[in-house]
Structures are given as C-alpha cells and as structure tokens.
A and B are shown apart, each in its own frame.
Chain A
Amino acid sequence: MRIKIYTIALGLLLSFIGQAQEVEYTEYDLDNGLHVILHQDNTAPVVTTSVMYHVGGKDRTEGRTGFAHFFEHLLFEGTKNIERGKWFEIVSSNGGQNNANTSQDRTYYYEVFPSNNLELGLWMESERMLHPVIDQTGVDTQQEVVKEEKRLRYDNSPYGQFLPVLGKNLFDKHPYKDPNIGYMKDLDAATLEDVKAYNKKYYVPNNAVLVVAGDIDIEKTKKMIKDYFGPIPKGEDIVRKYPVEKPITTQRTATAYDPNIQIPATGLAYRTPGFKQRDSYVLQMISTYLSDGKSSKLYKKMVDEQKQALQVGAFSIPQEDYGMYLVFAIPLNNTDLGTLISEMEEEVAKVRTELISERDYQKLQNKFENNFVNSNSSVQGIASSLATNYLLYGDTSLINEEIEIYRSITREEIKKVAEKYLKPNQSVIINYLPGEKPAN
C-alpha cells in the first residue's frame, strides 16, 4: 500500500501545473472616481450587479460604533425614486435575489437577476449611491431591527459572542476592539445629522467599486453604467489613520460566558498582520495544515485518536489592518479545558520548531489549488472576489494570480511565520463558558 501511494504522489507532482481557469475582466474609472469592473460570462442567463464601499465597522469615531452595519440596513430603506419599503419587493417580483453584508473593513451590496434585468440592477445600485432617503423614520425603524438582529445573531445564538470576544481581547486601541455590529447605546445615540454626515463621507463613488458580472454585453453595459452612475457627484478624499497596537508579549487568560451553549469552548487567540501582507497567506496555510480534513494534525490527534474534542479548528480571520488568529476546541467527555489548550499548543509548537513534511507540504498545495478552482465557480462569487481584490487588496489580478502566492510559499517560510506570530507569549487564552456572566 505504501508503495502505491508513493507512486501516486509522484504522478501528482508531474501533473502539478494544472490548467487554471483564467477569469477575464475589463476595468476602468468613471470621472467621478467610481471604479468599474466587468466580467462577461454568457453560459447562463444570469447577471450580478454589486457595489462594494470601502467602509466597515472600523470606520467610526469613539462612541459611534456599529455605524457601517447600521448603514447597510438604512440603505435598503428607499431612495428618491424607490418608495420606502419597496426594495425587496422590486427585486423578488423581478425574479431576483439580493443581500448585503458588512465587515470591519467594507460593505458589500449585490443583486442577482435573470440577465434581462441588468438595467434594473444598475438603476437600483445607482439610486442607492446617488440619493438614498435618510430620515428619522428610517433611523428609528432600523435601530429596532438591528437590535433584533443582534439578539438573534449574537445574544441568542450558540457561540455567537466568540468573534466580539476575540476583538475585545486582541485589541486595545484599534477600532477592531469593538464589535462590528456596535454597542446598542451608540446606535441609540445616533442623530439624524450624524447619520447624514456619515453617508456623505463614505458612500461616494470614489470610495466604491461597481462590479457587473455574468451574461452581459460589455459595450452596452458600459453605456448603461455611464448613464446611471456618471451623474453621481464625487466625494471628498478619505483619510484613514487608525492607532497602531503594541505587540502582545505576555500570555493572558480571558473568560467569556454564553447562556446558549451547553458545552464550553477554549481557544488560543493571536494578533496577526493585515491581509495584504504575505505572512497572512502563510497563516492561512497553517490553519489548513492544522485543522482542515480528517488527516490534519489537530483533528487526527484530538478528535480521532485521543477523543478529547468534539470539534477542533484553526482559523485565520483576515482583516485589513490586523488579522485575528484562533486555534480552538470544544471538549468531548468533559475533557479539561487546560488539557485542550496544551494539546493545541503542542501542535502549534511543532509548526514553529520543525519543518512540516514534504508530503504535508504537497497536500497543502493540492488543497489550495482545489480551493482556488472552487472559488471561481459562481458568477456571484467571482463578482465578490473582483470587488474585494480591487478595493481592499489593491490588485484586481489576484483573481487569477492569488494561487501563485501560495505556490511560492516554502516550508521554511511556514516555520518562520509561525515562529513570528504564534508563540505562547503572543497569545490570549479564551475560555468560553456556558451560562450567564456572574452578576455584579
């Protein structure tokens, strides 16, 4: 059997340079600074129209957290030409689907329509950018809706507080310390004036990218884009200057409570560099090495062989200024949380001190190639990647070339990066326990 596997491995090496699927696209700027990316794919009569704004949870002043996410809600309220409350009906009664999401770094809106409704999608997004209706009624309504969303997603959902807890414990000064959805008191304190000023500052064409992907005709689409988006006035340039964090140098332990869980979780959290950095890619590889698949180091040891964990995982949470990195486990059979931590640290330590095996390295390369192929499988996914690559990574061509970065990462580099960021004294131990926080 060994011999058999070995020969297969050789075969794989030879066929390593696979045929990558090139995503073709056109990009240009409108006079008002709106960057436009078009991707034509006529295989199915479907089109995605999407706008990504470079504004997220971190773009706020102290005491006004959660503004970007709140805005995501507000900007569905209506526009000068789209009656309040009609947005979803227009989309669905035209056979489309739409949604939006907000991270700490950006906000993304999109519609997917049968391709004969391309113009409708462009009209809607241009309406949103040109003249959304922002009034007290909308602010009041969405304040309530966001609170419900917070209850559902965070307060009432098992392990829902984990991400906010990570941010709180990994950052002191940088806005990443606060939850993306914000604090209720900040939302309540928001005045209509604040809200309008925020809109004027961030939701402008020069802070956004428009992507149209799918069953389109490039020239006709360009024309429509000029018609609908051309007249939108350019905004002020945006300057971002966020505090720089001091490195974490001694290990701390933090405890958090969640009444919605029955089984606790524990994890090692680290602060890592922003996602544009090459090291961030290396850390992604380390997560895969540690916990992706039944043969991965942590899964095989802790779930399969030692039966200590119900679940174990290593996650890299990429962000623009700093990333967050988490290695976590959920115990099986009441395994002590401290035991889980030392078992996890043992595997992380091996990455810091030893080179991963040639075979594991090859395995990683295969996994990343597979991910790369799958990442471009839907037009909607391609649209989102094009927007992200341009707006946040500053390089649209990553859609085809990101795989080259992974291919160029060496075993030595993996060891070096683990040693640089994943030492015990750089970590925070997070114990995430069932129950209410003890009453004060």
Chain B
Amino acid sequence: MKRLFIVLFVFTIVKTQAQVDRTQMPEPGPAPEINLKDAQRFELDNGLKVLVVENHKLPRVSAQLTIDNNPIAEGDKAGVASLLSSLLGNGSKNISKDEFNEEIDFLGARLSFGSQSAFASSLSKYFPRVLELMADAAINPNFTEEEFEKEKTKIITGLKSEEKDVKAISSRVQRALAYGAKHPYGEFTTEETVNNVKLADVRNFYDSYFAPTNAYLIIIGDINFEEAKELVEKNFKPWTKRTVPSFGYSTPKDVQYTQINFVDVPNAVQSEITVENLVNLKMSDPDYLAALVANQILGGGGEARLFLNLREDKGYTYGSYSSIGNDKYAPSRFRAFASVRNAVTDSSVVEILNEIDKITSKPVTEEELKNTKAKYIGNFVLALERPETIAQYALNIETENLQKDFYKTYLEKINAITVEDVQKAAQKYFSSKNARIVVVGKGSEVLENLEKTKFNGKELSIFYYDKYANKVDKPDYSAETPTDVTAAQVLENYFKAIGGKDKLKDVSSVYMLAEAAFNGATLGLVSKVTTKNQSLIEVSFGGMTAQKIVFDGTQGYVMAQGQRMDYDEKQIEAAKAEAHPFAELKVENPTLEKVEPYEGGKAYAVKLSDKKTAYFDTESGLKVKETTVQEQQGQKITVTTNYSDYQEVKGIKFPFTITQALGPQNIDFKVKEIKINEGVSDEDFK
C-alpha cells in the first residue's frame, strides 16, 4: 500500500512539471536535513584524549594526533621544533629507519609527523600495525646525529633559497612587528639560530613538549569504537605522563596610530602590502561568526569588496583578500593584503584602508549579507560529506571550549546574524586607526610616493625596518645631486683610481677570460674589445658556445643556438658608443645623479647614456656597479652588473669579480686571465 502511494506521488509530480520553464532559474527544494553525528570519546590514564568517528563507507582508517600545548618560544634556537618534526617518523628505538620506511610503504600507508602532531592513514586491514608503528615512532624516537645533520642542511638551504623572497620577508616582518620578535608568534628562524641547535636540544624539546598531557588522538573510519579503544590503549599506554612546562608571554599591543612599516628589498618587482592589527577573538566568543561574515564580505574571495575594488575595478593586482584568525592563547591577527605592481603601491594602500574604513563605518547591504550567509551554509553542508569534519568539530568543541551544540545550531546562528552584528564585529576587529601597514618593496621606486600617502586627510608616518624587523634609518636614496663634485670629476677620479689616463691611452685591446659556476656546470665568458670599436663577447656553457655577440666597428650580430641575428641601426649606434676597453673615456655628456648606498658603502651614480648608469665608490673612486636598460619584447628590463675584487694587470686595475644578477640569483664571474694588447686580432670580429 505504501509503495503504491509513492508511485502515485511521483506521478503527480511528473504531471505538474511536464514542462520546465528554462527562462526561470529553478527554486531550491526544501532544505536538506542535516544529520550531525557525535564523536565517541575516551581518555587514557596518561592524559591522552581519544575521539573516534566511525565511518564504514570505505575500508580505511586514519589517525590524527594533535598536541594542544601553550605557545612555545624557541628563542635563539629557533628551528628546533622544525628539526624535531623532520627527525620524528624515522623509525624508533625498536625498528631501524630503513625497516620502518619499508614497512610503511609496504602496507601502502601514509605517515607523517609535526613537532607536536602526527598523522597516519591506511586500509582498515593494516591499520592495527600502522597505528602501532605510529605510536612506536612517537613514543620511542631514535634521534641520530646523521639524520640531524642532514635535516639541518636542508633547513639552511631552504632559508637561503628564500633570502630574497619578498613574500617570505613580508610574512616574517609582519609577525615580528605585530607580536615582537621574542613572542612565540613573532619569532623566526635564521641560519644562526639553526646553527645554535644541537641534537640534545631537539631531544630536550621532545621530552618537554611531546607529551600526552594535552594530546588528542582522532581516529576516523572503518573501525569499531571498541576495537579502536583496544588498539589505542595497547599502543599509547607506554606514553609517559608528564607535566608540560608553560610560560606566559607579554601581551602584544597595537600601534598608537596607523603607520607604514617599510622594508626595502631592492630586487622586488611587486610590493607586498599588508594592513594588520591584533584581534582578541576566540571561537567561543558570541560574535565569532559575525566576525567571519564581516571578513568574508570585506575580503573573503572573488565576490568580496577588496577583490572587486583592487582587481576588477582598478587592475592593481591579481587578487586582494583579508583574513581574521582566532586563538585562545594569544591575540591573533586581522590582515588585509595584496601584491601590487610597484607603481601603484601608494594607491593600493589607500584603497585597502578605504575598504576597511567603509565596512566599519557603513552597514553592509542586505544582499551582501544574504549571499554570504548562503555561502557559509553551503560550505557547512558540503563539508559534512567528509568524516574528518565531524572529528574536527568534536575536537574544536573540546579545545576551543565551545557549547556542546555549537555545530548543531551553527546554521541557526549564521541565519540570525544581522547587518548590525556585522558592522559591530567589523568595528571591533578591523582597524584603520591603529593598523600597521607593512609594505615590503623596492624603496627606490615606491618610497617617494609612499611618503606622500594621505589617508583621511592626514599623511601617514613611515618607519623603516630591515628584513629581520630591526628598526633602521630611512634608506638614503638622497635624490639631491651632490654639489661638491661634478660628473666629469667622478670619471676623472675613476681613471686615476684604475691607473691613470696615460696608462689607459696605451691600451689598444683587452682580452678577458672569466668563469662562473652555474647549475653544476661552468659558464665561460670571453671578451675582446679594441679601441677600433671592435668587440666580441662569447658565452659558453659546459664547454659549448651558447652565445656570441660580435661587432666589427661598423656591423654586428648575435649568434645564439645556431641562429644569427644582425644588428639593426639602433644597435649599431649603441655598439659604436660602447665598444671600447674603457667606454667611460668616450662618454660625452655624463650627468651626476645622486649618491646612493650599495653593499660596500656609497657610490656616485653617473648617467652615461639614456640606457646606462655607472656607480663609482665615493671613497676609492672605482666603478662598483653598472645598470643598463634593455628592451626585450617591448618590455624594459634593467640589467645590473656589479664589479669588485680589483686587481692590477700591467699597472691597470681590473675588476676580477663580475657579478650579474639573473632573476633571483647572482652569477659570479671570476676572471681567470686578462691580456693587454695581445691575444686579439681583427679576425676575431668577423
């Protein structure tokens, strides 16, 4: 009878909807019922708390261990936690590293460790053994000097590779300034602090903090509660209970007034802008969800205001977003950020501040709120598909001190949020008045405008920091032209410094051979230049000629990868002006631009031509740097060459180290040989 009824019911539906009207967007059906299951829970005597979420859909199980300790300051041994995470999971006192790795792979399992966490997953049939291996590696780690040294090298290589990384610098400075470099959330790892770490420190960190006291183990998947309990008890009982040290830290504070904190990174092609302030927000706060919604509307994605303004409207950036954290131990941060091209750095700062100002001073629209709620509700429903969600919710309820029904009433809470709630949260947590605007970028190009940046009618103060958040003086690009010296004098001093004009006049040709180590092969450079305007540059890679640039005084060409390209008019003209052993001798109208700091001191910048500027040390008079603007496929690229290690050859000083910046890395050419007036013939320039 019941079945018949259903058939009839379906039939009626078919009847009434025989035709669909596709010009109308279909309305949603009745909201699906949400069935939020609870996790099961037990605790071991050593303090380990275990949450189990049974899900038998697939024959697999995972185990996530999380240790919820207070924040830990690593101090002058920063990096010790990171080293611990690399050293864990490499076998145990009972099983060698190789056997351990072999068995994990053999079982088709995954296993990984953090400094205060671990994760394992496998098919259910192998899970008992995988959990046993995980527990053994966690409880009885075998720290060896060999592994320790290897991981240390890896960390240091990693640090080196991101030395010039604007994003990495920005992230470090943001945290250090917001919290102070001694706070656990503000400190950072350097090569020096990594080198301070000894294996004993790693062991010590492990002994102190890798303890069951504040630990949670979450088991999810195709396993019965009783089975899980038995397995956990068997494997984690030996984990000794101990008291975890806990320290207090000074509470960080926001700045008194909104200001720019600038870090100069000369290689930057984009500025990283982050507007940040501290927030005291916990998940258990009544306005937690309203704060998330406010952030979502401001900068939560492609439909949010920051994105629509800075990208869609202004085209300053590929994307601009905001984020708000929550933390029960210390303040977290609200951040609004974008990577923008240099020229619009100041304008972007203003637009980001405007958006923060707007969301705090004016209510959001009903439409924005409605769409944002729908998005949150959708995300909540979609997340239910993953059993991990239920486990995460259960863990949050425990560790974040939430009401037991926090997630069961989540949708009601989202739906109840009003426009006023959003504005209140925005006012409480987003600040345009006590914000740090951390800008990391190329000072020589962005500072001039940044200094004039006004927000709400007031100029923003700028404070300067180095890459490690130490306060420094304003970088000196003093655009003022030095008055005590002229361009001609600077050049004269240079000629004097390298041996005197008389000596230079006797030089008719210079042959130079230089080499650089590059990606495991040798990059060779041969250059021959004469006073007859002839020049040859030959670059070889691994012994093979890669490129040849030849100019015979009237004609020139480039050979690369077997292809010859002849010089055009412009190139011929440029080559005529350039091709000389000491091109500066031929410069006609040099202009002295400014005094600029460089790695070795200060240098006079002398503009030699439209495209070329040379830098001469104010003390020694020697040429230390040269920048040339090149056009490549319609784009202007500045190529920088540094000169150092001057050595005498027949009474004339030549730089023996020539450094060329190539993308983020430098190539150091070491000069092997220089010959004056020999080793060069007209034949070379054919």
Contacts and interface: CB of A to CB of B under 8 A. Distances in A.
B20 interface: yes
A334 B539 CA distance: 21
A228 B22 CA distance: 8
A237 interface: no
A374 B60 contact: yes
A252 to B, nearest CB: 14
Interface in A209-249: 215, 219-220, 223-224, 227-228
B17 A366 contact: no
B103 interface: yes
A95 interface: yes
A12 B663 contact: no
Given A223-B14, A294-B101, A434-B665, A123 B25 contact: yes
Contacts of A439: 547, 558, 560, 630, 632
Interface in B24-51: 24-26, 28-34
A93 B373 CA distance: 8
B379 A95 contact: yes
B653 interface: no
Interface string A66-96: 0000000000000001100000111011111
A21 interface: yes
A119 interface: yes
B29 A89 contact: no
Given A95-B379, A123-B26, A263-B161, A373 B105 contact: no
B663 A127 contact: no
A278 to B, nearest CB: 22
A334 B108 contact: no
Contact of A120 (B26, B57, B665): B26
Interface in B319-378: 370-371, 374-375, 377-378
B57 A21 contact: yes
B677 to A, nearest CB: 30
A148 B318 contact: yes
Interface stretch (A39-47, A160-168, A318-326, A413-421): A39-47
A207 B452 CA distance: 59
A44 B385 contact: yes
A14 B318 CA distance: 55
B10 interface: yes
B651 interface: no
A331 B59 CA distance: 39
Contacts of B451: none
B520 A335 contact: yes
B382 A307 contact: no
Interface in B111-130: 122-123, 125-126, 129
B102 interface: yes
A114 interface: yes
Contacts, number: 224
A334 B371 contact: no
Nearest to B95: A1
B125 A440 contact: no
Contacts of A296: 105
A337 B105 contact: no
A5 B99 contact: yes
A440 B567 CA distance: 11
A378 B57 CA distance: 10
B302 interface: yes
A333 B125 CA distance: 41
A337 B520 contact: yes
Which of B32, B99, B558, B665 has the most A CB atoms < 10 Å from its CB? Answer: B32
B222 to A, nearest CB: 9
B472 interface: no
Contacts of B31: 114, 116
Given A113-B378, A227-B17, A92 B303 contact: yes
A126 B99 contact: no
Nearest to B23: A81
Nearest to B147: A304
Given A46-B384, A46-B385, A260-B663, A119 B150 contact: no
Chain A interface: which size bin?
35 or more
Contacts of B106: 9, 12, 295, 359, 362-363, 366
Nearest to A9: B106
Interface residues of B, number: 78
A126 B22 contact: yes
Contact of B28 (A120, A336, A438): A120
Given A89-B371, A294-B101, A434 B519 contact: yes
A123 B22 contact: yes
B120 to A, nearest CB: 12
A100 interface: no
Contact of B560 (A89, A300, A371, A438): A438
B230 interface: no
A362 B126 CA distance: 14
A214 to B, nearest CB: 8
Contacts of B303: 88-89, 92
Interface in B77-100: 95-96, 98-99
Interface string A349-383: 00000000001001100111111011011110000
Interface string B7-18: 000100110010
Given A370-B122, A440-B558, A262 B378 contact: no
Contacts of A295: 98, 101-102, 104-106
A63 interface: no
A408 interface: no
Contacts of A93: 370-371, 374-375
B385 A379 contact: yes
A339 B521 CA distance: 11
B386 interface: yes
Interface string A128-165: 00100000000000000000100010000000000000
Interface string A290-307: 001111100010000001
Given A228-B20, A366-B108, A264 B519 contact: yes
Given A95-B379, A120-B25, A434-B663, A15 B125 contact: yes
A227 B20 contact: yes
A244 to B, nearest CB: 29
A371 B125 CA distance: 14
A350 to B, nearest CB: 17
Contacts of A310: 154, 157
Nearest to B164: A262
18 contacts: A1-B96, A5-B99, A9-B106, A89-B303, A89-B371, A93-B374, A119-B29, A263-B161, A292-B105, A293-B105, A335-B520, A336-B520, A363-B105, A370-B109, A377-B58, A434-B662, A435-B663, A438-B546
* 7 closest A-B pairs by CB: A95-B378, A45-B32, A370-B108, A366-B108, A293-B105, A116-B29, A119-B26
Given A93-B375, A366-B107, 20 more contacts: A5-B103, A8-B129, A46-B385, A81-B22, A97-B379, A113-B378, A114-B31, A114-B32, A116-B29, A294-B104, A331-B520, A363-B106, A366-B123, A370-B60, A377-B58, A377-B60, A433-B519, A434-B663, A436-B663, A439-B547
